[in-house]
Every structure is written in structure tokens, then in C-alpha cells.
Amino acid sequence: MSLLTFFRKSSAPVARERLQVLLAHERLITGKSDLIATLQEEILAVIAKHVAVDRDKVQIKLDRGATVSMLEIDIEVPAAVAVEPKLEPERETEDAA
């Protein structure tokens, strides 16, 4: 073992720690990905009934803590023009048909 390697900090513990942090996070996400996708679709559908929103402006996150879990829903609603609900005569005729 040369002097150089003797003084170099070992990298394996860094790898181990990075993996532990990353996988703790990823296991939650992949385990719950179906739930998140379903929530996203359904929430989007409810909002779209009343407000025209951009699909990409709806963010849904689920954080699982030891004691508390948090469902975070972040919806960016466009400026006043679009907030007017699209009412509704045409829709009703559609429904009737």
C-alpha cells in the first residue's frame, strides 16, 4: 500500500450511505407510484370540471414519515380568464346525447 492510498479517504462508506438514503426514498416512490398516478388523474379530472388547468401544473407528492405522512397537492391555476368555469349548456347537450 503506497502512502497515497494510505491517506486517501475510503470511498466505500460514502457509496453505502448514498445508497441507503437513495433507496429509502425510491422504495417509497416505486411502492406508491400507482397510487400517486391514480390520485393525479382523479384530482385532475375533478378540477378540470370547473377550471381549465395545465396537466403539468398539477404536482402530487406523498411523503411517508415515521409518525405522520403528508400528501402534498400543488395546483397552479391559470390567470382569471381561464378561471371562468366553462358552463355548461354544451356539456349538458353532450350528456343528453
Partner 1 sequence: MAQVLVVTSGKGGVGKTTSTAALGAALAKNGQSVVVVDFDVGLRNLDLVMGAERRVVFDLINVVQGDAKLQQALIRDKRADNLFLLPASQTRDKDALTEAGVKVVIDQLRDKFDWVICDSPAGIERGATLAMRFADMALVVTNPEVSSVRDSDRIIGILDSKTEKAERGERMEKHLLLTRYDAARAARGEMLKTEDVLEILSIPLLGIIPESQDVLRASNMGSPVTLNSKTSVAARAYYDAAKRLRGETVVMSFPKEKRSFMGKLFGRRVA
Using CB under 8 A, list all residues that contact partner 1. 1, 5, 10-13, 15-16, 18-20, 22-23, 26-27, 30-31
Q: Which is nearer to partner 1, 43 or 62 (CB)?
A: 62
Strand partners, 70: 63
Q: Which is nearer to partner 1, 11 or 93 (CB)?
A: 11
Q: Which helix (H) or strand (E) holds 87?
A: none
Whole-Å CA distances, 21 to 9, 18, 70? 20, 5, 19
Amino acid at 58: V
CB of 81 to partner 1, least distance (A): 43
CB of 31 to partner 1, least distance (A): 7
Question: Contact 76/54 with Cβ under 8 angstroms?
Answer: yes
Question: Contact 40/58 with Cβ under 8 angstroms?
Answer: yes
CB of 37 to partner 1, least distance (A): 15
CB of 62 to partner 1, least distance (A): 17
Q: Which is nearer to partner 1, 33 or 59 (CB)?
A: 33
